[in-house]
Structure 1
């Protein structure tokens, strides 16, 4: 049974002083304490207050906590120290090692740590060690270059942008895309990019972006201290990027070290502006390739047209020469036939004349023989013979004239001289019917003093076939 001493009753102030002395006796000097920053706030006087905690597994209620007071004079000195280090900024979620005095603050009845110093190398080293462990783990699982194997479309115009809405990073990214002059479509995926909520919100934004109909996901944020970028060295974000079915490009502001997010991303840039410029460059490269390909097609087409134009010219010249040769052969053949007809006509006339003379001689002999029979009959026959002779001669002369006219009619040069023309198709064949030609076919028309080249633009068939002068569309 516990015996309570009722001999003395403490005043609150007195009890606080006793507790304060006990704490001072237990912790006579400064101590080093490590933990995670939570609930960081700053007063108008320049003081900073936060809790140093041991987070629980579910990160809801800490397993242990102690209030920390960082007064303005110490804060300025510590900030100068951190700026020299360049890698640590005191924000919620960052694990630090600090030095200070344990004291009892009577007005609020609480024990707190009055901070006087910090070990920045502890935080930087811890972040680096965790980063290396995570990189080894991802490499062992084959995830380090998994997203790099996801192909980026040739024209990545549809972009899911993961960053803090209204941030400078968002403005820089959008502005750089606008400078490119291409029709980019940006789907904004709002996420916290710093602080204790950054891991969960960025991871959720990445998984939501993977469900959109976009070409690429861009994760961007501005520059900052190494601890400001700690979320992008976290395992949840790294795995969300590595496992994304879309190519993930990063533009996380940093000067030296790359974050784990950069290492697992498809393509990494140092700033949001550089990331946007990379997308503009990808679209521009495709357009340049397209223009170059079109120029090669035009050049090849021009070469082919030039080659075929030369071939067509040579064919036309060959056709003209062949046509001329055909006309010359035909002309020679017609001349030969005319000469042959003339000779045959002369022979026929000679034979007719000889036959006529023979018949006249026979008639004369018959007339003399029959003269004694009937003078009247002889005179009649003689009169008849006188009348018949000129007719025979006239008939023979008419036949001869007909032959001569036919020879002149068959002469092609004479035909052309009378206003007629000879039409040849592109293959050199003589055009005898409108059905020998099609719309757009080329024609070579031979006239008396040369040739005319034309093209068929229309056709018309006549019910009655009559000889007409050649007419062709041009």
Structure 2
């Protein structure tokens, strides 16, 4: 058979279309639903509205398509360079002979981690009681002052203003501007909520338009949640849309679906207030009912007074008697304390009598004079002792010189004896070291000898007669050991 011939006899030859169709059945049947994570590149929007792009990672790339009908219902479209998790299926495009990913849904790759962190924070803060219904404050039925925390350039602020424009004219609105997206947003929102305490609003609206989980993540920050809990007035949140839920919504006193809904729920409009106002007949009935209730309460108060006046009189008399006894006891204690002070002052005055003081000082002067008269006698005695001590010191000087010389001789002899002892000890140590080195088994092994032991009991073998056929021996060399069996 030639080098370029193919063995096709007896074998079926298929066309390109047939082979591609077979591959299409295998691929589309094996991967009807897949999740793929990768980075978007080469994004192209066709005039028909379809999006074509490539999903890639560090080692591979995959063609992908997002049909116009699918793109119309997605809240987020892929962006160049973004990393996403795509849901879809694999499809083969026969005209090009390639396969591609048909995308049905997508989400940013980081949303999965954000969702886990959201659940963790929600469980932890719920355990602290931050979301308990008991913490919720009631809303004022007719607020006069409303504080709004949002961005002054956001559409949410315009929605709130439009709704509050048809509310009662007495409403006062204070805007506390804040950043509502990004790394600076949590601290900015918390600072705005704290700043409203200076103007004391009746209710606070915390609002923002819709967005992705990353856009609204600042409302899941602990600083924002704590600021809502410590806010000076009840807080109504209107963040995103109905499907958007943040931890700030759970901590707020009331959650609204949208910013407009938050403005609607904080205060009724003028038509609702007009419907609440009753007619003249109803007002007259209410007035008569209020007067009748007041008369009944007044009669009840009168009856209680008639029952309680005698008891109150007896209680007052008893209290007056106890107070009188307390005053008498207090004056008696004060009199005893003053008597004690008087006795102390009398004793001090007696001790400070001039005649007594003069007598004491005269006694002290006489004692000092007698001591002064004894000073010359004590000086003569001390001079005699000093002269005797000086004489003894002059007599002991020659003997001290002799003893110093003897001490130096003894120090010299002691040093010589110590040096001889040290030299003798060093010589004995060197001789013992040489003997130990001579008896070292390792040195003996270095000279070619072998140490033989029995394997079964480890006993040292010194004679050939101690070894029999079949005995297992261990041979110790200078660089290792061997096990042998005697034949």
* Same fold, TM-score > 0.5, yes or no: no
Q: Which structure has the higher relative contact order (CA within 8 Å, separation 6+)? A: 1
TM-score by structure 2 length? 0.38
Larger Rg over CA atoms: 1
TM-score by structure 1 length? 0.39
